[in-house]
Amino acid sequence: MLADEVQLRPTPGVWLARGLWLVVALAVAVLFTSYRTIPDLFVVIAIIVWFRVPRFRRAWFPGVVLVVFVALELLLPFDVSMLNRPGGPSIRTLQMGMPSPALDARAEADGIELGGCVVRGNEPRWILVW
C-alpha cells in the first residue's frame, strides 16, 4: 500500500447507522403482521449474518431481507407451532375463528389445531406441532 493511499474502514457506529433503517422497517413489518416462527427465525439469522459477515454489509442486503421476510410472512402456507402437544410431531390443519363447543369437539376428533378468534388474513393453513 502506498503512503498516500488510505484504507478507510467504517466503524461499528457507521454499520449500525446503515442498518438502522433495516431495524425500523423490520419492526414495522413485525408489528403489523402476525407472529410466524419461520419468517422470524429468518430475520434473526439475517441480522446475525449482517453483523458477522462483512461482504453482506451492502445496501442491497437489508432490502432483500425485508422483501423475503414479507414474502414468507404473507405467502408461506405452513409454520411451526411453539405449543407442546402429547404424542409425536404431526402436521395439523389450523382453524381460525371464534371457537365454539362444537368446534372444540371436532378439533379433538379430527386433529385440528384452533388458532383463536383474531384473524389477520395471513395465518398458515397447516402447522407442525410437537
Longest dimension (CA), the chain: 80
Burial label, 15 (beta-carbon count in 10 A; 0-12, 13-18, 19+): middle
The answer, yes or no, to whether residue 3 has pLDDT greater than 60, is: no
Q: Are residues 19 and 66 in the same domain?
A: yes
Number of domains forming the structure of the chain: 2
Structural domain that includes position 117:
78-129
Q: Are residues 48 and 59 in the same domain?
A: yes
Residue 105 lies in a domain: yes
**Whether 114 contacts 101, CB under 8 Å:** no
What would the pLDDT profile of 86-123 be if each residue is shown by its tens digit? Answer: 888 889 999 888 888 888 888 888 888 888 888 877 88
Tell me which residue has cell 461482504.
55
Match 403482521 to its residue by C-alpha cell: 33
Does residue 19 form part of some domain? yes
Cα–Cα dist 95/76, whole Å: 16
pTM of the predicted structure, to 2 decimals: 0.69
Three cell numbers at 29? Answer: 413489518
Q: Are β-strands 78-80 and 126-129 bridged in parallel, bridged antiparallel, or unpaired?
A: parallel
- Provide mean pLDDT across the span 4-27: 67
